[in-house]
Amino acid sequence: MDRIGVWIDQREANLIKVTDKGVMSKTIYSDIETRIRIAGEKKQFSRFGDQFIVDEKGKENRVNEYTQKFLQKILKEVSSEDQILLFGPSQTKFKLEKLILSRPELAFKLLGTKTADNMTHNQKLAYVRDFYKVE
């Protein structure tokens, strides 16, 4: 039985796979940039002098697009597993949970979504081992 724990935040996802052979880890980095600065811009103003242009909707759309691409990468990795645990500090885990629950072939594999603080790599491994009660 293959089991996986996914620690996820907006910057990266650590996939911790537990098998009969042991524990393996893989990191997937996101391309999400929340602060994009165009040369010549100051604060909220554009580079066109006195004109006031705010591209908040465009920035929000870019972040949403990159988030969806990031979540699809993770979904492709975890779709072959038998049991899935999601945990992490940010709201991204709930977006991934919603995506998993929208697919009937994956929804029954999701065992839980837990809120966890920022952790070291060893703490993440221990968290997944403890959840699945693996020695």
Please report, for the chain, the start and end positions of each structural domain, with discontinuous segments joined by +: 3-32+71-132
The whole-number pLDDT of residue 31 equals 81
The whole-number pLDDT of residue 5 equals 93
Strands (E), the chain: 3-8, 12-19, 22-29, 83-88, 110-115
pTM value?
Answer: 0.81
Q: Which amino acid is at 115?
A: T
What is the CATH number that goes with domain 3-32+71-132?
3.30.420.60
What average pLDDT does this structure show over 51-70?
80
The whole-number pLDDT of residue 21 equals 85
